[in-house]
Amino acid sequence: MAATPIAVVTGASSGIGAATARQLAAAGYRVVLTARRGDRVEALAAELTEAGHQATAYALDVTDRAAVDEFATAFRSLAVLVNNAGGALGADPVATGDPADWRQMYETNVIGTLNVTQALLPALTASGDGTIVILSSTAALAAYEGGGGYVAAKHGEHVLAETLRLEIVGTPVRVIEVAPGMVRTEEFATTRFRGDTEKAAQVYAGVDAPLTADDVADTITWAVTRPSHVNIDLLVVRPRAQASNSKVHRTL
């Protein structure tokens, strides 16, 4: 009997990462959930196991290269890596944005993805049919006012995906980029505005049905489960009310 294919999901403690872990488990993968908050991924792995799926948890900070390398030693063969860990900090104009925020966003979104991808690439290659998903954002493709360091970091992640795809073509690993627009999750906007829930709520004010974490997880799972010869290079997914990063229909 063939071994159950393994999928690693980073940032699996909440939002899109947690929803993706659930959906990949339901699709038949043995999921390995990682996040800085070990207790959260432990709880989700226990819940999935209870439901009859195969799931394990591992506390991991993707910006800690030594820890990532140690984590990677557990895998000789890996089917799927979903680079989901990342996020936004602040919405200040370039003129006044805090360089520390810019640095942190570059570290988590770009270097974090680089660390995990580099460390797991040998196992993905050894599987004979590996898939890397890079969860960027529509901020990876076009700037918007106040996007600042997040737009810059996500553009970096987009270029990482594009460059890697060019470099490893012909090897048994494909690179998929999923770029969501407005997604309402429990933490993204609240983290961006440092716990200011009122400011966070304004992001979605009057928007009829922003995307949910499940919508994006569904997109990721669809892309990952395409036949081996198919590569979804880049998939942009937005709610119907959002025509571009700055053109959003609001009923206010």
β-strand pairing of 173-180 with 242-244 = unpaired
- Phi and psi, residue 21, nearest 5°: -60, -45
Among 113, 138, 185, 219, contact with ligand 8X3 (rule: CB under 6 A): 138
Active site residue 150: yes
H-type alpha helices, 27-84: 38-50, 65-72
Strand order in the sheet with 6-9: 55-59, 30-35, 6-9, 80-83, 130-135, 173-180, 234-237
Minimum Å gap between C-beta 10 and ligand 8X3 is 16
Q: Is 139 in the site for ligand 8X3 (CB under 6 A)?
A: yes
Interface map 150-189 toward ligand 8X3 (x if CB under 6 A): x------------------------------xx-------
Q: Is 109 in the site for ligand 8X3 (CB under 6 A)?
A: no
The pair of structure tokens assigned to 227 is 């036949």
Find the binding residues for ligand 8X3 in span 5-64 (CB under 6 A): none
Minimum Å gap between C-beta 182 and ligand 8X3 is 6
Minimum Å gap between C-beta 117 and ligand 8X3 is 19
β-strand pairing of 130-135 with 173-180 = parallel
| Type and span of the H or E element at 236 | strand 234-237
Which residues of this chain interact with ligand 8X3, rule CB under 6 A? 137-139, 150, 181-182, 245
